[in-house]
Amino acid sequence: MKKTIISITLACLMLIGSVIPAFAAEAPAKLQFGSDGEFSILHICDCQDGYPAHKEMFTYINYMLDVYKPDLVVLGGDNTVGPKETKLEAIKELVAPYVEHETYFTLVFGNHDHEQGVEKDELLKMYQEAGGKYCLAYDAVPELTGTATHNLPVYSSDGEKVKFNLWMFDSNTYAEDENGNRLGYDSVRTDQIEWYSETYADLKEEAGETVYSIAFQHMIPPDVYEAMFPSVKYALDPITETYNGGKHYPVIFPNTSAFTGHIYEPPSPGVVNYGQVDKMAENGDVLGVLVGHDHVNTYETEYKNIKLINSPGISYNAYGKEIVRGSRLITIKEDSPNTFESEVITVNELAYEYEDFREEMGISKFKAGFWIFMDKVALFFAKLSSYPARIVF
């Protein structure tokens, strides 16, 4: 669902929103650093299944919750793709592990979530209903483009002060020209960026200092091509010309010294850059933007001192690769909130370490070890050439 707002009314809408409860039933829970001074987030992307979903996905998710006990789970978009008739059942099944583990979760929407005939506003209500008090997703300003753009402050371990912040952006679906012709993927829009900047200013004023943060959305900002791909004066193919309004013509091979992790498919950002990363760099609060969307990519790069990170997909229904299927664990420390750590934990890495998980998944330790080894081989050869890791497994 596309909603628009002119910037001149944004401040008024935010003021109105500030006196209206963010949730339909109750205010969101107060997130805070633990007694160990850490806050952990499990980023689970592209579940992209219907009802009933593949049991392997839930086996992995439940085991990750048991072993790592994250403080928050972020569903990274393209969460369910089942038919309209079973959409609520699919959502209930998807969030059941978090409810059962008493783990808070939030979400962003992807480009496929609503394509089965249920609008994102209604989907959000379904998640809130199914997740109950454990669902922290809400629509901060419903008039903004997209649905469920919101933020979640993380308080100090004593609960007295905001020490960190989490942004959730709807990166929307598909961009169109004035005639309704699809141009490619969409991006975080200007009104959403204005809301972010105004909200950040309020957080900073309240805290009396910079409140560092990380952002989650489904699709990578277009700046990823500036960060990783060398540019030439003229477009080498019709696709590259569309990025950043034709101002940047990336070659098809990335600079392998500019990223870590895997690139098994070209990044797929929106075709129009509305200045999201530029505004974040100007404000100086956002440490990283974490996305899904490209199921087989696990890269981490940096642009204007902001990390751009792609987490892998976990789906056993949509496309993927055995070598990277998994999720990303993010750790933030209260005593150094100006940085964060993240690591991809694949299905095979989990299987190699835990025998009961191997048995439940039907994966031998040899098979798990083979894929872990091939992952290291792929990364090694990727660094030897200017060509990304595109070994087909």
CATH number at residue 18: 3.60.21.10
Percentages helix, strand, coil for the chain, rounded to the nearest 5? Answer: 35, 20, 45
65 inside domain: yes
Q: Are 316 and 297 in contact (CB under 8 A)?
A: no
pLDDT of res. 66: 98
Q: Specify the pLDDT at position 225.
A: 86
Q: Give the range among 135-139, 186-190, 388-392 with minimum mean pLDDT.
A: 388-392
Query: Residue 226's pLDDT is what?
Result: 87
* Phi, psi (deg, nearest 5) at residue 136: -105, 5
pLDDT in tens, 308-331: 999 999 999 999 999 999 999 999
Instruction: Calculate mean pLDDT across residues 351-366.
Output: 97
What global pTM score does this model have? 0.89
- Does a structural domain hold residue 358? yes
Q: Are 41 and 73 in contact (CB under 8 A)?
A: yes
Domains in the chain: how many in total?
1
pLDDT at 18: 40
What's the pLDDT at 379?
85
Does 392 map to a domain?
A: no
Q: What is the pLDDT of residue 180?
A: 86
Over residues 155-170, the pLDDT tens digits come to 999 999 999 999 999 9
pLDDT of residue 9: 38
**Residue 390 included in any domain:** no
Q: Is residue 1 part of a domain?
A: no
- Asked if 289 and 221 count as a contact pair (C-beta separation under 8 A), the reply is yes
- Choice among 140-149, 245-254, 263-272, 339-348 with the minimum mean pLDDT: 245-254
pLDDT value of position 382:
72
Contact status, residue 298 vs residue 322, Cβ threshold 8 Å: no
φ, ψ dihedrals at 243, nearest 5°? -75, 135
Q: Which residues contact 208 (CB under 8 A, 6 or more apart)?
A: none
pLDDT of 348 > 80? The answer is yes
The pLDDT > 90 percentage for the chain reads 75
Is 393 part of any domain? no
Closest by Cα among 354, 355, 342 to 299: 342
Phi and psi at residue 175, in whole multiples of 5°? Answer: -85, 145
The greatest distance separating any two alpha carbons of the chain, rounded to the nearest whole angstrom, comes to 61
What is the residue-averaged pLDDT of the chain? 88
**What does the pLDDT average to over 357-384?**
91
pLDDT tens string 295-306: 999 999 999 999
pLDDT at 384: 65
Q: What is the mean pLDDT of residues 324-344?
A: 98
> How do residues 63-122 score in pLDDT, each as one tens digit?
999 999 999 999 999 999 989 999 999 999 999 999 999 999 999 999 999 999 999 999
Model pLDDT, residue 204: 97
Residue 80 lies in a domain: yes
User: Tokens 């596309």 label which residue?
Assistant: 2
Check residue 153 and give its pLDDT.
Answer: 97
Nearest to 2 by CA among 92, 119, 150, 123: 119
Confidence of residue 29 (pLDDT cuts 50, 70, 90): confident
Res. 386 pLDDT band, cuts 50 70 90: very low
Res 246 pLDDT > 90 = no
Over residues 190-204, mean pLDDT: 98
pLDDT at 241: 46
pLDDT at 373: 95
The strand pair at 249-250 and 259-260 is best described as unpaired
CA distances to 30, 108, 315 from 346, rounded to whole Å, are 30, 22, 12
Residue 387 has pLDDT above 80, yes or no: no
Residue range of the domain that includes 12: 7-384
The verdict on residue 94 lying in a domain is yes
